[in-house]
Chains A and B, each alone.
Chain A
Amino acid sequence: MPLLVLQRLVSTIPVLLVVAVIVFLMLRISGDPAAILAGDTATSAQIEAVRQAFGFDRPIWEQFLGWIVQVLQGDLGESLFTGLPVTTLIAQRIEPTLMLALTTIVFSVLVAVPLGVLAAWRSGTWIDRAVMVFAVLGFSVPVFVLGYGFMYVFSIELRLLPVQGYTSPFVDPVAFAQGIILPTLTLSCIYIALIARITRASVLETLNEDYIRTARAKGQVERTVLFRHALRNAAVPIVTVIGLGVALLIGGVVVTESVFNIPGLGRLVVDAITRRDYPIIQGLILFFALIYVVLNLIIDLAYTLLDPRIRY
């Protein structure tokens, strides 16, 4: 098992390398940011000086190798604009994003799984249809429309919750909770839709399995059949989707952080993209990819807990 974990870890290296190459090339083929850095009134000579100072005049492969060597040493470089190390920026900004992601995942799972099970159990009835229509809606309404809607109702009209901002739960748990509710609701919709659908589909499938019939033949009550037999067996695809959905979640975080003005990683990266702050873009996309890969690795390994048939 430990050997296996090691193997799987090693196998993520090519994936991350692919990410690194894609991101690096994509950004560098678009020219260099020297002109932005040099400012509004810079003359051509000044731009050239900046270009040399940052090494944008060197061949691409040389820049790439230099960057990779740096990254391997745990150094993601420094922001071109503020001069702050990218690792510092990530450390500063990770808490709000992490909290938002956590509350969203927890809330979504708590809502979506029972909904999905219910829909599967009552498959074909109006309950099923209602859940599924809600799920389709969750996929269809743009995140920012939801965000504005919630903000309008709960913050502007009812004055119940703040419209924006983030407070750390380690400082003021109440303010944290008030601030995180709307972003969580907003971001959860698509995730709930995703998880509810897969829960329904995979529970529906397990409900057709022979062992469900066996459980009924034993005289088991429906609720236990559903949760103990069906859901447990449906867990692997559900957990898989939760893992794959993290990519979707990160996309949603970007928009949600913008709407609710949460100073997290999503905004850091969007700002960096509009400013061509390459070290931040590269570092953050790599960081997101790393999180995605590691999370899915953990989920892969967790399969063994969910399904004893899976052994590595």
Chain B
Amino acid sequence: MTTHQGDGPVLSIRDLAVALPAGADRRYAVEGVSFDVGPGEIVCVVGESGSGKSVTAFSVMGLLAKGELHAERGQILLEGEDVLKATPERLRDLRGTRMAMIFQEPATALNPVMTIGDQIDEVLQIHTKLSPAERREKVIAIMEAMHLPDPQALYDRYPHQLSGGQRQRVMIAAAMVLDPVILIADEPTTALDVTTQAQILQLIKEMQERRRTGVLFITHDFGVVAEIADKVVVMRYGKVVEQGPAAEIFANPKVAYTRMLIASVPSLEPPTRTAASGEVAVRTRDLVKGYGGKSWLGRATQPSVLAAKDVNLVVRRGETLGVVGESGSGKSTVARCIVRLVDPTSGAIEIAGVDIAGLSTRALTPYRRRVQMVFQDPYRSLNPRRTVGASVMEGPMNFGLPREEALARARRLMSLVGLSPDALDRYPHQFSGGQRQRIAIARALAMEPDVLIADEAVSALDVSVQKQVLELLDQVKREFDLALLFITHDLRVAAQICDRIAVMRRGEVVEEGPTRELFLDPKHEYTRTLLAAAPGRHLGPAVAAE
């Protein structure tokens, strides 16, 4: 099947340097990058944000943003041909035929107004002289090869009618339809659920094995690296810090940074914990939240979609309950109901023994204080136009705390979350994501809540930062005897921080139990699937939680 002749590398990057525009914080986005991808080899480029891994990938395709980034030095040899020196026409010829690329977000990488058949067909239209019938046949064939169900019917569907996994398969189909020698995959599974991710990784491996395609795989996730990599390239600040065969890197990382990265990956092996016995801080009874179902006269009728169905949860003080599930499982809905950002359709939410599910805005106010939330996106959860101090002090002052006291409390909390109290006078954009998440925690704590809800609070952070924030959460939970409701899709994280875990799927809690029990002896089929899908299961030392 392979179209690459010979055993030399299909892609060889030599001393690549890509310049940043003047005025940036450093001169080069990447500098002195060299590595090879052989036929049938999966090379993972791994690094945290800003490491230059994606710039490297885009340089190969010649897709760097015009006028802002350009390759200043070095060579990118595709089967011996330097693509940096290729004319735009030649580059267009190479794309789709010899090299192909897939992206992180299959939802946005596909044109929403073209049928998926047409989008795969487009590659053939550009690069071949096949007749429409021949092209269609070839498209159907590659769709079958990607294990897409019922390709004939799927051909005329639009991207939004497909699941995330199917969309990424379509992307791969379009990339592979002309059998390129190299596939560049830029974080292709980051946006996917863990079970889907496992399937896509499986598919990429299959391509590489059956077609001997070289794969340049960009990722930040060491779990994924452990799962598929033949060779690993670790990047930091635009430079390669270490590269070598995967087994070697994992077994014996030479550079401290690599060691740190690997160590930051939470282990799937939950530590032993003792059951919490504090008083019940929050309890939901048969909580239901439905969406839609508005009649055209504007009156609400029976909800058409149930985002949460008869959810019963209990969190005690001093306890962390993890709610784990894939996207659409309803885990965030439950959290938002408890904070009353959305109104539950039915059921009860008891805070300190009082049902707040049906309280009016006014009656709710005293209970607002007791439940606080830390949001997923650290870049959007602080008002960019107000100082950090204003954000942290807003809550206590709403409840009548005098300014001076609120300020004192805020300063105390800033120290507690590991920031300088002077930070209160600054604006959110002056802080990094991890720092902002610390501020968000401080803001929540300023209310002196009983319950803290962390809604995917660490999923947007790099692993090294993630670890620190997790530790902070665990610390404040203990210090303030909080009931912590931890919403996450990441089993590794859940394993390390949660005392108990509730697994949700399609609005329902399918299984609940102490973390260790649930991991070691999952009762529900779905829980088992989730655990099996976690990439790099063997990876990572246990983080001591106690």
Contact = CB atoms under 8 A, between A and B. Distances in A.
B413 interface: no
Contact of A213 (B63, B96, B114, B123): B63
B95 A216 contact: yes
Interface string A1-21: 000000100110000000000
Interface residues of A, number: 23
Nearest to B161: A308
A297 to B, nearest CB: 15
A214 B110 contact: yes
Nearest to A307: B113
Contacts of A229: 111, 114
Contacts of B158: 308-309
B185 to A, nearest CB: 12
A282 to B, nearest CB: 29
Contacts of A232: 111, 113-114
B95 A219 contact: yes
Interface in B80-137: 91-97, 100-101, 103, 105, 108-114, 122-123, 126-127
Contact of A309 (B109, B122, B123, B160): B160
Nearest to A306: B113
Contact of A216 (B63, B110, B296): B63
Interface in A183-213: 209-211, 213
Contact of A211 (B97, B110, B127, B160): B110
Contacts of B110: 211, 214
Contact of A220 (B103, B108, B126): B126
B97 to A, nearest CB: 7
A138 to B, nearest CB: 29
A229 B91 CA distance: 20
B61 interface: yes
B103 A214 contact: yes
Q: Which of A11, A215, A229, A233 has the most CB of B within 10 A?
A: A215
B109 A218 contact: no
B501 interface: no
B497 interface: no
Contacts, number: 74
B160 A214 contact: no
Interface string B43-69: 000000000000000000101000000
B111 A218 contact: no
A210 B296 contact: no
A217 B95 contact: yes
A229 B111 CA distance: 7
A219 B127 contact: yes
B65 to A, nearest CB: 10
A308 B160 CA distance: 8
A213 B103 contact: yes
Interface string A122-149: 0000000000000000000000000000
B96 A307 contact: no
B338 interface: no
B194 interface: no
A217 B113 contact: no
A214 B96 CA distance: 10
B268 interface: no
B288 interface: no
A221 interface: yes
Contacts of A306: 113
12 contacts: A10-B296, A210-B103, A214-B174, A217-B63, A218-B122, A218-B126, A219-B96, A219-B127, A220-B92, A232-B114, A307-B112, A309-B112
Given A217-B100, A219-B95, 18 more contacts: A7-B296, A10-B296, A11-B296, A211-B109, A214-B110, A216-B95, A219-B93, A219-B123, A221-B92, A221-B126, A229-B114, A232-B113, A232-B114, A306-B113, A307-B113, A308-B158, A308-B160, A309-B158
Please give me the 7 A-B residue pairs with the lowest Cβ-Cβ distance, nearest first. A219-B95, A210-B108, A219-B96, A308-B158, A211-B111, A219-B92, A210-B109
